[in-house]
Amino acid sequence: MENLDPISFEILKNSLISIAEDMGVVLRKSSFSPNIKERRDYSCALFNKSGQLVAQAEHIPVHLGAMPHSVQAVQKEFKDDLAEGDDIIINDPYRGGTHLPDITMVSPMFFKEKLVGFAANRAHHSDVGGVAPGSMSALSRDVNQEGIRITPIKIWTGGKPNRQILDFVLSNVRTPDERLGDLRAQRAANLVGAKRLGELLKKSRASTVESGMDQLIDYSEELMLKKIRELPRKSSSAVDYLDDDGFGATDIPVRVKVTINQQSIAFEFSGSAKQVQGPLNAVYSVTLSAVYYVVRCVTDPSIPANAGCFKPIQVTAPSGTIVNAEPPAPVAGGNVETSTRIVDVTLKAFSSIIPERVCAACQGTMNNVTIGGIDPRTGKYFTYYETIAGGFGARYSKDGVDGIHSHMTNTLNTPIEALESAYPLRVKKYELVRGSGGRGKFRGGLGIRRDTEVLAERSTISLMGERQRHRPWGLSRGKSGSPGAYAIVRGNRITGLSSKTTLSANGGDVLTVITPGGGGYGAPGRRTSERVGQDRVDGKA
């Protein structure tokens, strides 16, 4: 294998990364699920022929460590039985997926009839069947209740849709029309990836591009090792808790021990809770994603994300635990909630080693809201899914940001004017919650209150959230942020709701979601009077 000179390499590196980004543009602009098009809950990546991640676009972090598992599952399933024009889909969390709504499409790429790599993208679909619309029910007790499980299967073969399989998948979901549109968009994205890689291969020699891919992986590893060596060689442990699993288990511990070595960082999760009945379980690849996210944040995020970047990272999580679940444990919330707690606990461990690089706890939940039912205007099924931002944790030298998504997600909100025309819903209030940021020399960001009126009879609301008992913690004597809370208003009656629940709602019922504020940093008494004054006139504290 020849090595590229540093200049040709830089040029090739930029091309490969931009291919992954181009794929994202196509997916976003031509998809149908609000989750994909408005909220950007997707990721796109390129892999080499041995299934190693070469380039991943800056999409959402929760897919970071999980995509390679999908590609490996495809390789394992199909071995040499892959041809140009094949597109394989997967969503089974126990066969290379994360949670069921995330459907990954993997497409082998060929050049002159030889396999050169894979284009892959993962997108969160609005519904994949299961007990509740949106497939994010908090009350599932096993993965089969959460929706259709798709083990690696060719949905397009040689460029032609596999009609029977497509029909089979589509008849197991609530909004088949939208699913079909999204699958087409996912395929279009991979086609763009393959086309652009093809152009690159045509321009340079194939062997140059292939060895360039490997070199990119080595390059990231080398940079990551440099960054690791700059960190103090220390070890630190931390524990944080999930509130509950919706089935009676409460104060569920997630434990980590972080050890920074000369050439690696080890993350050891033993002592974390056994897997739970409710859907808070994370599969191993989700835990990897969370750890990788933290590592990128505290080292150097400009190191290209690929297999090499993560080679020096060792993650051990005992199987059968909440951070490495085994079938048939339900997992819908592992991806969104537990992943976030894994980030929190890992940052907490790092806080005693590199306090200036971390932040106090952010809201620590995604506040998953799903509302589904029959739209009285059309007589058709609708499924609306939204995650609601909260406070960002305060930092060593600045306040946390108000009303913003943190850590494992960065999905956009659905514009109110768009959602009111698309769904039988009406938003009554969308505002920052005064005083919700944890006090401190630097205060935590504020949480959000969002009130949504349901306009369809017999709708189903599913809620899944966290940080309603265990508040987002502060650092260095900073105070905790305020907890989240959910409630429903029926007529004049307000009923508090638990953080994981599914309920039915009728026209006129109003769902209130209050999201947690971020933790503070430093003693509150040391806050400057200028900052105190600003917050007062702005009604923020």
Partner 1 sequence: MVATNTIRIGIDIGGTFTDLVAADEKRGVWKIKVLTTPTDPSVGALDAVRRLLEKEEVDSGLVRVVIHATTLASNALLTGNIPRAALITTSGFRDVLEIGRQNRPELYNLQVERLPPLVPRRYRFEVRERITYDGRILEPLDTSQATQVARRIRRLGIGTVALCLLHSYANPRHEKKLGKIFRREHPSAKLSLSSELLPEFREYERTSTTVVNACLQPLFSDYLEKLEHGLEKLGVHAPLFVMQSNSGTVLSRQAALEPARLIESGPVAGAVASKFYSRGSQSIVSLDVGGTTSKAGVWSGHGFEVTNEYEVGGRLHGTRRVEGSGYPVRFPVLDLVEVGIGGGSVAWVDDARVLHVGPQSAGALPGPACYGKGGMLPTLTDASLVLGRLSSSLLLGGDLRLSPRLAYRAVAERVAKPLRMNVINGAIGVLRIAVARIAEALRAATVEKGLDPREMVLVAFGGAGPMFACEVAEQLEMERVVVPPAAGLLSSLGLLLAEPLHDSVQTVLRDAESASVKELEKIFRGMKERARGLLGREGVEEKDVTYQRFLDMRYQGQSYELSVPLRNGIITGKVVRSAVRDFHQRHQTQYGYSQSDRSVEIVNVRSYCRGKAGTVSGVTGIFAREKGPVMRRRVWFMGGRGIGCQVFQRNSLFPGSKGKGPCVIEDYDSTLVIPPRARYVVDRNGSVSIAI
Of 267-326, binders to partner 1 (CB under 8 A) are: 293, 296-298, 301
Paired strand residues for 250:
244
Closest to partner 1 by CB, 93 vs 478, is: 478
- Does residue 222 belong to the site contacting partner 1 (CB under 8 A)? yes
Closest to partner 1 by CB, 358 vs 463, is: 358
**Least spacing, CB of residue 506 vs partner 1, in Å:** 19
CA angle, 272 as apex, 356 and 59 as ends, to 5°?
Answer: 55
Closest to partner 1 by CB, 15 vs 462, is: 15
**Least spacing, CB of residue 314 vs partner 1, in Å:** 20
C-alpha to C-alpha distance for 496 and 489, rounded to whole angstroms: 9
Written in H, E and C, the secondary structure of 87-136 is: EEEECCHHHCCCCCCEEEEEEEEEECCEEEEEEEEEEECCCCCCCCCCCC
List binders of partner 1 among 428-487 (CB under 8 A).
428-432, 448, 451
- Does residue 109 belong to the site contacting partner 1 (CB under 8 A)? no
What pairing do the DSSP bridges indicate for beta strands 425-432 and 448-454? antiparallel
**Least spacing, CB of residue 534 vs partner 1, in Å:** 8
Spell out the residues 6+ positions from residue 493 whose beta carbon is closer than 8 angstroms to its own. none
Closest to partner 1 by CB, 62 vs 73, is: 62
Stretch that binds partner 1, among 46-54, 249-257, 426-434, 464-472 (CB under 8 A): 426-434
Among 76, 114, 274, 398, binds partner 1 (CB under 8 A): 398
401: phi then psi, degrees, rounded to nearest 5: -85, 145
C-alpha to C-alpha distance for 286 and 284, rounded to whole angstroms: 5
On the CB side of 186, CA atoms within 13 Å amount to 30
- Does residue 248 belong to the site contacting partner 1 (CB under 8 A)? no
Stretch that binds partner 1, among 268-276, 402-410, 456-464, 481-489 (CB under 8 A): 402-410
- Does residue 415 belong to the site contacting partner 1 (CB under 8 A)? yes
Stretch that binds partner 1, among 188-196, 319-327, 334-342, 464-472 (CB under 8 A): 188-196
DSSP-assigned states of every residue in 298-352:
HS-TTSPPSTTTTTTEEEE--TTBTTB--TT---HHIIIIIHHHHHHHHHHHHHT
Stretch that binds partner 1, among 74-82, 257-265, 410-418, 519-527 (CB under 8 A): 410-418
Site track 322-361 with partner 1 (rule: CB under 8 A), x = hit: -------------------------x---------xxx--
CB 217 within 8 A of CB 17: no
- Does residue 392 belong to the site contacting partner 1 (CB under 8 A)? yes
In angstroms, how far is CA 133 from the centroid of its own chain?
Answer: 20
**Number of amino acids touching partner 1 (CB under 8 A):** 83
- Does residue 504 belong to the site contacting partner 1 (CB under 8 A)? no
Closest to partner 1 by CB, 99 vs 296, is: 296
**Least spacing, CB of residue 143 vs partner 1, in Å:** 28
Q: How far is CA 509 from CA 199, 289, 374, in A?
A: 55, 37, 15
What pairing do the DSSP bridges indicate for beta strands 265-268 and 313-316? parallel
List binders of partner 1 among 151-180 (CB under 8 A).
177-178
Stretch that binds partner 1, among 145-153, 241-249, 403-411, 466-474 (CB under 8 A): 403-411
**Least spacing, CB of residue 4 vs partner 1, in Å:** 10
- Does residue 16 belong to the site contacting partner 1 (CB under 8 A)? no
| DSSP 8-state secondary structure symbol assigned to residue 359 | B
Among the listed residues 457, 11, 409, the one whose alpha carbon sits nearest the alpha carbon of residue 203:
11
CB 325 within 8 A of CB 274: no
Among 49, 141, 184, 469, binds partner 1 (CB under 8 A): 184
- Does residue 20 belong to the site contacting partner 1 (CB under 8 A)? no
DSSP-assigned states of every residue in 184-226:
HHHHHHHHHHHHHHHHHHHHS-HHHHHHHHHHHHHHHHHHHHH
Stretch that binds partner 1, among 13-21, 71-79, 164-172, 262-270 (CB under 8 A): 13-21
